[in-house]
């Protein structure tokens, strides 16, 4: 009998896959029932949006946490330098916006999202702890026998919380110390001096860290002994400087699990969806120039232009998509990062492309051949230069082949010197940087060249066919 021993990594991967399949099947069954009943099921994002709420003290009501398994719990073997617990993001409008854009700083790539609510929001220590009474009470508890004093870790430091706790117990005869006695200890003064944030919550966070001697399990136990179920950092980065806004709950039984979702909002999935959106919008803009009424439509009757038309449109579309993504997701629109003259249109029409309405209006206006925005975009020197350089990359090899064939090949006896000069002029022109060309100049100079190259293509059909086949061109010449 062959026995296969499954290693831990393979087992974890198998469990994750089984959990995802199970939850996917459940959600698919739910969706199938909804489809039969003609009901539109809300997405994860839509459902979470309904839980964005604060209580009268400004404490968020709901929180989200990301996990690799469909299980809500605490790993007792955590090696992070933070208290052990369930780490979450408070469901605020700001966090919700980051979730939708895929820009949460940590764990958004995990397989599951769980929505939780604390059972007692009054038992949460917050970064807005400005009440001296609460702060002093917590500090006294840390050095008290009936508080967290017995949990303080021994270490060799003269500024040890455990050492100061024992000294206070000796001096007070086992009674709770006063605030003045606590504030005079070496460990408290050291915690106050070295705290990253000189706020009550920042000092208390540092003091509990020192008391736990950086042990994650002991650290969370100390917070629970102080009477707190969790800690909430609203934008200060005290819990961890890499995540300015987050919350941690120190035990599983202090939160209620409302719902768990298969995570369809990972950065990778969001990026793929947006990519489809940007490519689709870019395709509308790019094709608008080549359709009837579009600014480049007149060129399509020339074979020397249309032979690279599809390739040209595709490459332009890629750069337009990159620009659209930058405009839609970046706070500042910087012209140096953009391939096309968006800012000319945005400024004149007072459009904010970062908003859904502004983005859609920008795309809609430029894609409309009858609009002023379309003409501004496609006749701009920046666009013309990019179109010209892209066209050059496609047909320059053909131009050189035709020129060399006319000069040195079979057709040299049939070509006049004027013809050769025209081909040479095209070769020189297409290599020349013309960033300040107007549309009329662009058209005036190129159209005669298009006509001439069309004639040359008909004179050397075999050569042109070979080139078209090599470049996967859809060109079909009339011989």
Per-residue tokens: 450: 């298009």
SS3 120: coil
CB 250, CB 208: distance < 8 Å: no
Q: Please state the rounded mean pLDDT for residues 436-465.
A: 77
Per-residue model confidence (pLDDT) at position 2: 43
Residues of 359-377 as b/e, b for ≥16 C-beta within 10 angstroms? bebbbebbbbbebebbebb
Q: Please state the rounded mean pLDDT for residues 282-292.
A: 90
Confidence class for position 404, pLDDT limits 50, 70, 90: confident
Per-residue model confidence (pLDDT) at position 477: 39
Q: Does position 479 have pLDDT exceeding 50, yes or no?
A: no
What's the pLDDT tens digit per position in 129-163?
767 899 999 999 999 987 788 888 776 566 789 99
pTM: 0.64
Percentages of the chain per state (helix, strand, coil), in multiples of 5:
55, 10, 35
What's the pLDDT tens digit per position in 250-263?
999 999 999 999 99
CB 193, CB 201: distance < 8 Å: no
Per-residue model confidence (pLDDT) at position 159: 74
Task: Provide, rounded to the nearest whole percent, the portion of the chain with pLDDT above 90.
Answer: 41
What's the pLDDT tens digit per position in 4-19?
455 656 665 565 566 5
Q: Does position 433 have pLDDT exceeding 50, yes or no?
A: no
Location of structure tokens 């009858």: 370
Helices (H), 107-178: 132-142, 161-172
CB burial of residue 355 (10 Å; 0-12, 13-18, 19+): exposed
163: nearest Cα among 201, 190, 129:
190
Count the alpha carbons within 13 Å of 299 in the hemisphere toward its beta carbon: 26
- Provide the edge-to-edge strand list for the sheet that holds 124-126: 124-126, 230-234, 245-249, 86-90, 63-67, 112-118, 255-262
Q: Please state the rounded mean pLDDT for residues 352-380.
A: 91
Count of C-beta atoms within a 10 Å radius of residue 134: 16
**Sign (positive/negative) of CA torsion 197, 199, 205, 207?**
positive
What's the pLDDT tens digit per position in 39-61?
456 889 999 999 999 998 889 99
Instruction: Write the DSSP assignment of 368-436 as a string of letters.
Output: -TTSHHHHHHHHSHHHHHHHHHHHHHHHHHHHHHHHHHHHHSGGGGG--HHHHHHHHHHHHHHHS--TT
Please tell me what DSSP assigns to residue 325.
H
């Amino acid at each position: 009998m062959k026995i296969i021993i499954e290693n831990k990594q393979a087992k974890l991967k198998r469990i994750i896959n089984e959990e995802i399949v199970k939850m996917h099947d459940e959600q698919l069954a739910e969706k199938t029932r909804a489809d039969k009943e003609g009901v539109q099921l809300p997405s994860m994002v839509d459902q979470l949006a309904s839980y964005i709420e604060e209580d009268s003290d400004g404490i968020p009501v709901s929180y989200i946490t990301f996990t690799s398994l469909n299980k809500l719990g605490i790993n007792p073997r955590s090696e992070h330098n933070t208290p052990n617990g369930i780490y979450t993001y408070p469901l605020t409008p700001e966090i919700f916006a980051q979730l939708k854009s895929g820009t949460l700083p940590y764990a958004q790539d995990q397989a599951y999202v769980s929505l939780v609510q604390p059972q007692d929001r009054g038992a949460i220590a917050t970064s807005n702890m400005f009440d001296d009474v609460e702060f002093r009470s917590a500090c006294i508890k840390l050095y008290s026998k009936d508080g967290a004093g017995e949990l303080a870790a021994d270490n060799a430091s003269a500024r040890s919380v455990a050492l100061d706790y024992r000294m206070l117990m000796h001096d007070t005869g086992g009674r709770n110390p006063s605030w003045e006695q606590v504030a005079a200890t070496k460990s408290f003064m050291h915690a106050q001096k070295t705290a990253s944030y000189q706020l009550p919550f920042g000092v208390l966070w540092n003091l509990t860290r020192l008391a736990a001697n950086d042990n994650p399990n002991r650290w969370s136990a100390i917070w629970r002994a102080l009477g707190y179920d969790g800690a909430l950092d609203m934008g200060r980065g005290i819990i961890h400087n890499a995540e300015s806004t987050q919350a941690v709950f120190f035990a599983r039984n202090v939160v209620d699990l409302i719902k768990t979702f298969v995570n369809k909002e990972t950065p990778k999935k969001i990026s793929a969806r947006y990519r489809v959106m940007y490519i689709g919008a870019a395709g509308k803009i790019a094709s608008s120039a080549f359709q009837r009424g579009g600014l480049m439509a007149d060129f399509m009757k020339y074979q020397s232009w249309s032979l690279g038309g599809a390739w040209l449109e595709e490459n332009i579309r890629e750069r337009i998509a990159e620009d659209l993504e930058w405009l839609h997701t970046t706070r500042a629109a910087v012209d140096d990062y953009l391939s096309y003259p968006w800012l000319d249109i945005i400024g004149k029409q007072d459009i904010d492309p970062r908003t859904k309405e502004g983005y859609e209006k920008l795309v809609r206006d430029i894609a409309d051949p009858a609009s002023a925005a379309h003409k501004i975009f496609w006749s701009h020197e920046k666009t013309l230069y990019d179109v010209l350089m892209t066209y050059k990359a496609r047909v320059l090899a053909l131009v050189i082949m035709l020129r060399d064939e006319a000069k040195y090949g079979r057709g040299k006896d049939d070509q006049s010197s004027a013809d050769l000069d025209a081909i040479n002029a095209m070769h020189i022109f297409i290599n020349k940087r013309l960033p300040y060309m107007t549309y009329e100049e662009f058209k005036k100079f190129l159209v005669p060249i298009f006509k001439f190259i069309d004639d040359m293509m008909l004179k050397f059909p075999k050569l042109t066919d070979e080139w078209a086949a090599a470049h996967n061109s859809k060109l079909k010449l009339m011989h």
